[in-house]
Each structure stands twice: as C-alpha cells, then as structure tokens.
Amino acid sequence: MNRNEIMDVLNFRHSCKVFDDKKKISDVDFEVILEAGRLSPSSMGIEPWKFLVIENQELKNELGAVCWGGKAQMPTCSHLVLYLSRVAKELRFDSNYIDYLVKDVKHLPEDVAPTYKGIMKSIEEVRFKEDNDLEAYASDQVHIALANMMNVAAILGIDSCPIGGIDRKAVEKILVDRGLLDTEEFNITVSAAFGYRVNNPGEKLRQGIDEIVTWIK
C-alpha cells in the first residue's frame, strides 16, 4: 500500500450512522477483521478482551433498542461486535487467567514466569489497588483492538461505527438472559457495528496537524 492509498483508507473510515441491511460482510473478510483484534498489542500482553460477534437479527434489534448511540447502526449492520473486557479479579497476577496466559499462550519458561508475575504484582500494588483502576486499564487495551479492527475493515472497503453509547446494565441483562455473558468473568466495554454505508459521509473535520503535534528535534 502506498502513502496515497493509506490516506484514502484513513479518509474512507468514518463513523457510519446507517448501514445497508441487505449487504453482508463475507466470512473471509470478517475473519481478517477479527485477526486484527486478536493480534492487537496490549500492555504486558494481557489480552483482556473477548469479542461477541452478533449476526442474529433479533438480537441486533433488541440491543439497538437499548443503546442510544447505536439505534440505527445496530439493527442495520451486518456484524455487531460487543467488546468484553476481563473483570479485575481475572487480571490479578495470581489469577487462573494470568496463569493460563503465562503457561499456555506465552509458553514462558518456568524460571521466567515468576518474574513476569512479579512485575504484574508490583504494577498492581502501585497503580491498580482499586478494581476500578485495573478494569479501566483493561478497557484501554480493548479500545486498541477496536481501533485496529475498524482500520482493517476500512482497508477492506468495509464501514464501521464505534458505539460507546450503550446502556451497559440493559445490555448485560439481555446477554446474561441468553447465556452469552458471565459477569463474574467479563464486563461490557464498548461495541462496534460493521457493514456497508447507505449515505456518503460529510467532510472529515479535525484540528490541524500543527495544533496537535509538537516536534522536538
């Protein structure tokens, strides 16, 4: 991809407000979008995310009805992703999840694993004594996956809309009632709709580069 093509992709991506409900994203394209989430960076490599991918129309309608930020996007999109983030007790240095991550995902040698967990422990003691702080940190990581997925979608010519305007309690109830969420393990962080636009977006309005960048040479 050359520089102009990259700029075209950056300008193509916008927060799409209504999708063409007749157009579905292909499985092969959506797999690449999910890989963009899976391969995203996260602090200490904690990968605190889980992606609930919803194609079911009834569920998309139900969620759209309780999410003020996604009233039109959720029912019309092709794929709706709910981004879950692990709760604090799952992310503590001595949790089963971190143990699994260290052993089964990162394959850290037995003499290195305690060092990794020790670093996590000291960070927790200094920065994340409160569960809320640890969960906010996990949510920050989940938003990195969200951004990567929207940008990769744009490369594929697929539109998206990040949706933070969700009624978390109402969404939680809908998912728990359907057996789709265990609140002992995960919080709902944010969501995003993916599909194809109906309307062309307006001009992209942003601050100038000189207003947001300071060079130190």
Ligand X SMILES: Cc1cc2nc3c(=O)[nH]c(=O)nc-3n(C[C@H](O)[C@H](O)[C@H](O)COP(=O)(O)O)c2cc1C
Query: Which residue lies nearer to ligand X by CB, 98 or 146?
Result: 146
Query: Which residue lies nearer to ligand X by CB, 126 or 205?
Result: 205
On whether the CB atoms of residues 102 and 72 are closer than 8 A, the answer is no
Binder to ligand X among 120, 163, 175, 181 (CB under 6 A)?
Answer: 163
Neighbouring CB atoms inside 10 A of 27's CB total 7
Per CB under 6 A, the segment of 43-51, 54-62, 81-89, 159-167 that binds ligand X is: 159-167
In the DSSP assignment, the letter for residue 157 is T
CA dihedral angle for residue 153, residue 158, residue 162, residue 166, rounded to 10 degrees: -120
* Bridge partners, 191 (sequence order): 82, 163
Residue 71 in the binding site for ligand X (CB under 6 A): no
Residue 190 in the binding site for ligand X (CB under 6 A): yes
Neighbouring CB atoms inside 10 A of 32's CB total 15
Minimum CB separation of residue 52 from ligand X in Å reads 17
Residue 41 in the binding site for ligand X (CB under 6 A): no
Q: Which of 61, 54, 63 is nearest to 173 (CA)?
A: 63
Residue 165 in the binding site for ligand X (CB under 6 A): yes
Binding site residues, ligand X, CB under 6 A: 14-15, 17, 69-70, 161-165, 190, 204
